[in-house]
Amino acid sequence: MRVVILGSGRGSNAEAILQARDAGRLGRAEVVRIFSDQPGAGILALGPRFGVPAEFLDAAPFRTKLDGEGERRYIETIDACRPDLIVLAGFMRVLKPPFLAHFAGRVINLHPSLLPSFPGLDGIGQAFRRGVRITGCTVHHVTAEVDGGPIIDQAAVRIEPGDTLEAVAAKVHSAEHALLPAVIARLSEAR
């Protein structure tokens, strides 16, 4: 299963995927390319470390969505990689119907809450401020509804009395780093 990873930030979830690959825990999945919409993103440094081509891919003209010329550029460039699965690992742009239709059923996202609770930005902060006792992370198929696609799997994290927002974030990120590679491995074996 050929996997393309899209990310906008430091790349901790992409790193977890690549570490799982190196440890033999990614099933039949092969990460073939990493793209970032941010030229200085830390995720791009993972390419040389793990032997995977990684490059900045301009998403202009919009800052928060993939649309217009940027969307066409992403579709053409990713399509050339022949992906079986596109993993959004901290990719901070809304995907529009043309992209989703072109890669129908092949795009998954990792979200830092137990969806359908706390969709959108700052899922961890939303859960913390709301005072819930259980939060976590979700891997789901991507649809036009932001964080509304069918859920593939989830991992729960308990918020203990006295936990700070930073402590909860660390717990959720740890759960993400286990869940996402496990889901990719299962999807690769189901093909």
Domain locations in the chain as residue ranges: 2-190
Q: Dihedral through CA 134, CA 138, CA 143, CA 144, nearest 10?
A: 40
Which pLDDT score is estimated for 64? 86
Which pLDDT score is estimated for 173? 97
Which pLDDT score is estimated for 102? 97
CA 27/CA 50 separation, integer angstroms: 17
Which pLDDT score is estimated for 70? 92
Q: Are 176 and 154 in contact (CB under 8 A)?
A: no
Beta strands 134-141 and 151-158, pairing class: antiparallel
- In which residue ranges of the chain is pLDDT below 50? none
CA 61/CA 68 separation, integer angstroms: 7
Residue 2 β-bridge partners: 30
pTM for the full predicted model: 0.95
CA 184/CA 30 separation, integer angstroms: 10
Q: Are 4 and 83 in contact (CB under 8 A)?
A: yes
Please give the structure tokens belonging to residue 77. Answer: 């460039």
Which pLDDT score is estimated for 61? 83
Specify the length of the chain in residues.
191
Which pLDDT score is estimated for 63? 81
Which residue do the tokens 């989830």 mark?
A: 154
Which residues are designated catalytic?
Answer: 111
Which pLDDT score is estimated for 62? 80
Which pLDDT score is estimated for 151? 98
Secondary structure element (H or E) that encloses residue 185, with its range? helix 165-190
Q: Any idea what the Cα angle at residue 152 is, between residues 166 and 62, rounded to 5°?
A: 65
Domain 2-190 has CATH 3.30.70.940: no
